[in-house]
Amino acid sequence: MKTKIQEQFEKLYGDGASLFASPGRVNLIGEHTDYNLGFVLPGAIDKAIYVAVKPNDGKVCRLHSVDYDETIEMDIHGEKPEKQWAQYIYGVANEMEKRGALIRPFDMVFGGDVPLGAGLSSSAALESAVGFALNTIYDLGFGREQLAKIGQMTEHNYVGVRCGIMDQFASLFGEAGHVIRLDCRSLEYKLEPFDPQGCKVVLFDTKVKHTLASSEYNVRRAQCEAGVAVVLRHVGGVESLRDVTMDMLDAYKGEMEEVVYRRCRYVIEENQRLLDACAALEKGDYVTFGQKMNGSHDGLSKDYEVSCAELDFLADVARTNSGVLGARMMGGGFGGCTINLVRAEAYADFLEEISDKFSHRFGQTPRIIEVNISQGAHRIA
């Protein structure tokens, strides 16, 4: 893939480009907790967006997407481009300028092997790759944390998704063989070795496309904020669900809509599940870890209601297989993938069972995606 990006750049804009990569991510547990300032446990994966870039002497940027086979010109001080892929680049450049950077026109070719719309954060990978690339070639001096916020604000201000910081953080801070236990309030993080000996991590893509922007994602965020507002009427200093305990939530349950109560309960419980899962991880206890993953799916499906029939089906089939330690839907939801922790000896049979049962029920096989936990954003050449 990276050579294809480089070759395409040479063909369109000549030689001398620098090449960068920033990966997609998985998240083992801690879903919809990031924008509630809780904890997440993502890792960067061995599938990335590659960006070839070089300053040009013109007045506008020239951009080419290899995956969409589209080329446009873009003035970062002009109108927002119509193509969504270009909006990410426009957004990142503008967020950088808001923070004092000067972005001169550039030529850019990008593409990658992060499956689109599968919940592996291809958009965060693009934002992180573009941010990391521009930061390096123009020597802008942003740290990785600032680059993550630049990516997140691109989603908020140019794409319209009020996402948390998990995806961009994982894409920028990932390390091979480690997951990142990130506290989304302080942005303190710990790299936890993730080495489930004798087990494999596999994703099943339902191929159901989710459109977070137009969907329920922002509604969920607003419901959580509504719950916080109720508690704040009684308890001073409460800023997010991170500050709310189950006792507090139960005490003021009568003042909130039932659905708001359930959304908040899920988030509070998910934070605790993540902490318990990390304690298990540190002891190498992947059985308990898997049980927490299962609990996460149940909460997402029943209380948070961001699952769908295909994801529930995959999680249910996984649960009846004794070789599977844990399975859950991953990411924003309404489609995309499940993540499964499977014993190596049961792996082949499990893949067959899932494919057979899923295609029998939904008329097509799920896409099987094997992932390795890998390095975050970096320069290649």
**Contact residue for ligand GLA among 13, 35, 88, 158 (CB under 6 A):** 35
Q: Per CB under 6 A, does 34 bind ligand GLA?
A: yes
Q: Which residues pair with 48 in a beta bridge?
A: 23
Token pair, residue 263, equals 């959304």
Residues 310/359, Cβ–Cβ less than 8 Å: no
**102 exposed, middle or buried (CB, 10 Å; 0-12, 13-18, 19+)?**
exposed
303 tagged catalytic: no
Closest distance between ligand GLA and the C-beta of residue 171, in Å? 11
Q: Per CB under 6 A, does 163 bind ligand GLA?
A: yes
Which lies closer to ligand GLA via its Cβ, residue 163 or residue 311?
A: 163
Q: Per CB under 6 A, does 24 bind ligand GLA?
A: no
Give buried/exposed letters for 302-337 (b at 16+ CB in 10 A, else e): ebbbbbbebbbbbbebbeebebbbbbbbbbbbbbbb
Q: Per CB under 6 A, does 107 bind ligand GLA?
A: no
Residues 308/335, Cβ–Cβ less than 8 Å: yes
Q: Per CB under 6 A, does 127 bind ligand GLA?
A: no
Number of residues forming the site for ligand GLA (CB under 6 A): 11
Closest distance between ligand GLA and the C-beta of residue 104, in Å? 30
Closest distance between ligand GLA and the C-beta of residue 158, in Å? 14
Three-class SS state of 262: helix
DSSP code of 300?
I
Which lies closer to ligand GLA via its Cβ, residue 6 or residue 331?
A: 331
Q: Per CB under 6 A, does 95 bind ligand GLA?
A: no
Which lies closer to ligand GLA via its Cβ, residue 23 or residue 331?
A: 331
Cα 46 to chain centroid, rounded: 14
User: 85: closest CA among 126, 135, 24, 128?
Assistant: 126
The tokens 């908040």 sit on which residue? Answer: 264
Binding segment toward ligand GLA, per CB under 6 A, in 28-36, 60-68, 78-86, 108-116? 28-36
Q: Which of 167, 205, 250, 316 is catalytic?
A: 167
**Contact residue for ligand GLA among 166, 182, 256, 315 (CB under 6 A):** 166
Q: Per CB under 6 A, does 192 bind ligand GLA?
A: no
Binding segment toward ligand GLA, per CB under 6 A, in 47-55, 74-82, 163-171, 287-295? 163-171
CA angle 367, 370, 376 (to 5 degrees): 120
Residues 308/333, Cβ–Cβ less than 8 Å: yes
Q: Per CB under 6 A, does 331 bind ligand GLA?
A: yes
Q: In angstroms, what is the C-alpha Rg of the chain?
A: 21
Binding segment toward ligand GLA, per CB under 6 A, in 30-38, 64-72, 92-100, 247-255? 30-38
Binding segment toward ligand GLA, per CB under 6 A, in 32-40, 200-208, 255-263, 265-273? 32-40
Residues 221/241, Cβ–Cβ less than 8 Å: no
- Classify the phi-psi angles of 113: left when phi > 0, otherwise alpha if psi is within -120 to 50, otherwise beta: alpha
- Residues in the site for ligand GLA, rule: CB under 6 A? 31-32, 34-35, 121, 163-164, 166-167, 331-332
Q: Kindly list the catalytic residues.
A: 167
